[in-house]
Chains A and B, each alone.
Chain A
Amino acid sequence: MNSPIRYAALILLMLAGGASAAGDAKRGAQVFDDECSDCHTSTAGGKNGKGPVLFGLVGRTAGTVPGYDYSDANKASHFVWTPEQLEAYLPNPKGAIPGTKMRYAGVKDAGERADVIAFLQTLK
């Protein structure tokens, strides 16, 4: 990377503050609270609720949290929860994995989706 581009990247990162390239984890925490926390816990050692614990989600393979009774559809998806996979999944979970237990309608707003994915990336 040559110097001008490196400087530009540094400036962008500074402007973005604590946000990841894809979203703002702080805002994402609020989105998580509004949209996800009824069913999912997000802390280390958190319990499975109506949905599985989401601590450590990013990088994990779908259907692998111990003690949670996943749908066959979820287990058969073999999704690996990368930010890209989450971006594809979250607008319409039932469309991405038909037959999933997760009946949630989805995070429709692209900005909120980016923020909550950024937040999920901090759960490690």
Chain B
Amino acid sequence: MKLRLAQYLAAPVRHLLPALAVLAAPLLWSAPAQALPSYAKQTGQACASCHEGSLGPQLTQEGRNFKLLGYSSGAGFFPISGQAILQFTNTNQGQPGGAAEHFGENHNSSLNETSIFYAGRIAPNLGAFVQVTYDGVAQASGLDHTDIRYARSTAVLGKDVVYGLSLNNNPMVQDIYNTTPVWRYPYTSSGLAPAPGAATQLEGGLEHQVVGLTAYTMIDDLLYLEAGGYNGLGHQMRINIGVDNEDKLASVAPYWRVALQKNIGKSFFHIGSFGMHDALYPGYDRNNGRDQYTDVGFDGSWQYTPNKRHHLSAYVADIYERQTLNSSFGAGDAGARKQFLNSFNASSSYYYAGTYGATVGAFSTHGTTDAVRYPAGDIDGSASGSPNSSGYVLQADWTPLGKKDSFLYPYLNVRFAAQYTHYFHFNGGGADYNGDGRNANANDTFLLFAWLAY
């Protein structure tokens, strides 16, 4: 009965999503009085207060606190916003057959994402970040990141304590530190460039196809604790909300997060750990048991803000994933039952006056060689059967708005950026990585993008 009700509710939404998303931009542009970056309007603060470089997603201490308290603080109220990301992608070599359907082999322009948000307070102590996105590359729309929170602050034994609940659809979308996969650098990537094939479950393996409830607390602004679980959405519900995935969680997946944080002078530090265990039936196939993944990550960050003119930060995270692939092995989709994957990501940014920014980042993924899971083939193939990829990402950006004295504050924010990605290794190799003569650096990507929030 519940499923039927959900279907009835979801079906109209499914049909309306494309129209809503496509129509949102021009409607909001033509009616700026309703096109408010909703958090700024609610809090009375500029984007620069909560975000490094005056545009998301990197959070400052103020931004972390706002999220921690359930997106609900502030006296204003207009919780609707929009976003559009326009990209121009150039890869070192083109992609035969086209970078994607409807696109050429190289030098592609795209309206990569158009989103509308419910972003702000729902009721006292209750708020939300709900994103519906039209993907201009896939030409499909769906429910994107969603995080609905209830939070309160109180005193326990003379210590300040924040506690709350997060209902969300993506493990780590609720995280307040910009080290973990959902919100880490690079904050936007090309939708049309080749990307390495292997990733841990916490790097998008379950995004938008699950619903999770976690409880969290921040004690004395020092110790952060969070625990909860995720369950898979039903097949029909996934279709209704535009999620394209054919795996099914076999049971509730436990999730945990712990962090220690401290402000020392003008610096903020955190170190932490996080993890999740999930078991799933690939392709809903229950004939060969389950594939199980246990992810454990460690992370840390540093932000130095001596004043409003300078902001320096560094982020690092490493995720180790142990895989027991009974289902895939039984179905002939894996060459061994026991495998692993390790993902490392680090970045450092400098912003001047919240306007001019430069970021350097490095990434590395390595894991078990398995020619069955990682076969040779086209651009996505691996001649060595290896998931190993590594490289760096450079970005320079200009965010002219987003301050209290900015043009059209708080109605409009925009970032213009140039980003360059270089691969040392791609899917297991540097030269002829796919067994078809393509080198890793053929996928090096020069990306220009404009990111608008309104």
A108 near B221 with CB under 8 A, answer: no
Where chain A touches its partner, the secondary structure class is loop
A38 near B49 with CB under 8 A, answer: yes
B45 contacts which of A49, A68, A95, A109 (Cβ < 8 Å)? A49
Bound-state Cα–Cα, A49 to B43, Å: 7
8 Å CB interface, B235-265 against A? 263-265
Residue on A nearest B48 in the bound complex, by CB: A38
A100 near B263 with CB under 8 A, answer: no
Bound-state Cα–Cα, A99 to B221, Å: 11
A94 contacts which of B62, B156, B221 (Cβ < 8 Å)? B221
- Asked if B92 is at the interface of the complex by the 8 Å CB criterion, the answer is no
- Asked if A47 is at the interface of the complex by the 8 Å CB criterion, the answer is yes
B155 near A73 with CB under 8 A, answer: yes
A50 contacts which of B73, B159, B265 (Cβ < 8 Å)? B73
B43 near A100 with CB under 8 A, answer: no
Please name all residues of chain A whose beta carbon is closer than 8 Å to the beta carbon of B154 when the two chains form the complex. 73, 98-99
Instruction: Known A38-B49, A103-B65; judge A69-B75 contact (CB<8 A).
Output: yes
A71 near B153 with CB under 8 A, answer: yes
Bound-state Cα–Cα, A71 to B72, Å: 13
Please name all residues of chain A whose beta carbon is closer than 8 Å to the beta carbon of B264 when the two chains form the complex. 108
A108 near B45 with CB under 8 A, answer: no
A38 near B220 with CB under 8 A, answer: no
Instruction: Known A38-B45, A50-B44; judge A99-B308 contact (CB<8 A).
Output: no
Residue on A nearest B46 in the bound complex, by CB: A38
Please name all residues of chain B whose beta carbon is closer than 8 Å to the beta carbon of A73 when the two chains form the complex. 153-155
- Asked if A60 is at the interface of the complex by the 8 Å CB criterion, the answer is no
- Asked if A101 is at the interface of the complex by the 8 Å CB criterion, the answer is yes
- Asked if B74 is at the interface of the complex by the 8 Å CB criterion, the answer is yes
Where chain B touches its partner, the secondary structure class is mixed
A33 near B43 with CB under 8 A, answer: no
Please name all residues of chain A whose beta carbon is closer than 8 Å to the beta carbon of B160 when the two chains form the complex. 94-95, 98-100
- Asked if A34 is at the interface of the complex by the 8 Å CB criterion, the answer is yes
A103 near B307 with CB under 8 A, answer: no
Residue on B nearest A49 in the bound complex, by CB: B44
Bound-state Cα–Cα, A30 to B161, Å: 31
Bound-state Cα–Cα, A30 to B69, Å: 28
B45 near A105 with CB under 8 A, answer: no
- Asked if B392 is at the interface of the complex by the 8 Å CB criterion, the answer is no
A98 near B155 with CB under 8 A, answer: yes
Bound-state Cα–Cα, A98 to B221, Å: 10
- Asked if B61 is at the interface of the complex by the 8 Å CB criterion, the answer is yes
Instruction: Known A73-B155, A94-B160, A94-B220; judge A101-B73 contact (CB<8 A).
Output: yes
Please name all residues of chain A whose beta carbon is closer than 8 Å to the beta carbon of B62 when the two chains form the complex. 38-39, 103-104
How many whole Å from B39's CB to the nearest CB in chain A? Answer: 11
8 Å CB interface, A13-71 against B? 30, 33-34, 38-39, 47-50, 68-69, 71
Interface pairs (24), CB distance under 8 Å = A33-B308, A38-B46, A38-B48, A38-B62, A48-B75, A49-B43, A49-B74, A50-B75, A69-B75, A71-B153, A73-B154, A94-B160, A94-B220, A94-B221, A100-B160, A101-B153, A103-B62, A103-B221, A104-B61, A105-B61, A105-B221, A105-B268, A108-B263, A108-B266
**Could you list which residues of chain B lie within 8 angstroms of chain A, going by C-beta atoms?**
43-46, 48-49, 61-62, 65, 68-69, 73-75, 153-156, 158-161, 220-221, 263-266, 268, 307-308
Q: Please give 10 more A-B residue pairs, beta carbons under 8 A apart, in addition to A33-B308, A98-B156, A108-B264.
A: A38-B62, A39-B62, A69-B75, A94-B221, A98-B154, A98-B160, A99-B155, A103-B61, A103-B221, A105-B221
Closest 9 CB pairs of A and B: A98-B155, A103-B65, A49-B44, A94-B160, A105-B263, A38-B49, A98-B160, A99-B155, A34-B307
